[in-house]
Amino acid sequence: MDRIIFHCDLNAFYASVELLSYPHLRDLPVAVCGDPSARHGVILAKNEPAKALGVKTAETIWQAKRKAPDLVLLPAHHDKYRYYSKLAGEIYRRYTDLVEPFGIDESWLDVTGTIHLFGGDPVALAHRLREEMKRELGLSISVGVSFNKVFAKLGSDYKKPDAVTVISRENYRALVWPLPVTDLLFVGRASAKILAAHNIRTIGDLASADREELLRLLGKNGGQLHDYATGAEHSPVRPAGTAPPPKSVGNGLTFRRNLIGEEEIRAGVQMLSERVAMRLRRHEMKCTTVQVAIRSPEFKTVSRQKRTDAPTNVSREIVRCAMALIESCWTWTSPVRAITITAVGLLPEEEAGDQLDLFTPEASEKREKQEKLERAMDELRDKYGRHVIRFASNQTKAAREIRGDQMEEPEEL
């Protein structure tokens, strides 16, 4: 028997949550945006009237205003979004314990084993969920119903807002295959460009393409995308907390002002590296490679990566790698708009043993001591707040200024 998978997408989530506080704005074009003074002046979400005027997520405020001069701009409140996301998850879990979040506003539900408890009709249950969400939270959802996760997501995207779409074995060729290949999960810009060069522009084109040729063009991802297009995807719905370990851990930040000089850039790198190292320890992982992306005020981005001396989740070693990378590709006098630091090549801690170095046998012992110190700092921050303790190297004038200027958390990647 086929599985019954729902994909529930909270429509225009950020904007919908904000409009709960401003119901009189509901019929006007409204967008949620980042703080222009923090140089995050882009559209994060928009409601249906704004969408009808051509406003798009991720475009700049001035671009959106050219399309919709009367656009109402509201600031973002991420604590609110996390709160309502949690409430939505509680509604989903009334019907199944197999609920897999996909970002803050989307979730997959596997109701195969519980559908008989709620009447046995998947479409009726999807509408029931939709009505409960609207009645209890004042939010609307679009629900895709299908036999796998990929088609369920395509279903929730197919008709919005506040709708239910069924993609079955009987109708998926008619509904899914005419769609552009970019609508398929994990078809990014680079993959789409390669596929287009080989006349693969729709999901149907992808489904009829030779699988071996796709593997040659896109590697392992090519075979996976072919499975997605043909309906052969069968990954399980994984409840929160049971997902596979991350393949990378990164944090990026656009600074409120440009950083200039080695001291200021180091202060920014230290702040990001501490976050990356802390998240690695919480995942019980260590990295073998550090990647750095550094962006100028003109939006020129340079990326480099470097292997670590040994698997690590220690911020000091991540800083050392990151600064060496930046020194190799950047001049200290060139202003920096944004930095992203990513730990890749991750290993579980129990598999990440040090390779002994005959010339510096004390390195492993120093690394172990530093890791214990940083774990102790994690415990203090968890108990008393993230600002309770810092390294002395983070008390420089530049570091204090950057922390004072930068009120936002680095973005997790």
In terms of C-beta density within 10 A (0-12 exposed, 13-18 middle, 19 or more buried), how is residue 91 classed?
middle
Rg (CA), the chain: 24
What own/partner pairs with CB < 8 Å and gap ≥ 24 does 273-276 have? 273/315, 273/318, 273/319, 273/322, 273/341, 274/315, 274/391, 274/394, 275/251, 275/410, 275/412, 276/249, 276/250, 276/251, 276/315, 276/318, 276/341, 276/342, 276/343
What span, in angstroms and rounded, lies between the C-alpha atoms of 242 and 72? 40
Tokens of 5: 């998978």
132 is catalytic: no
Tell me how far apart the alpha carbons of residues 220 and 268 are, in angstroms, rounded to a whole number: 36
Dist CA 66 CA 84 (whole Å): 32
Enumerate residues 6+ apart whose C-beta is below 8 A from 368.
Answer: none
Active-site option among 18, 48, 100, 106 = 106
| CB distance 259 to 221 below 8 Å | no
Active-site residue list: 106
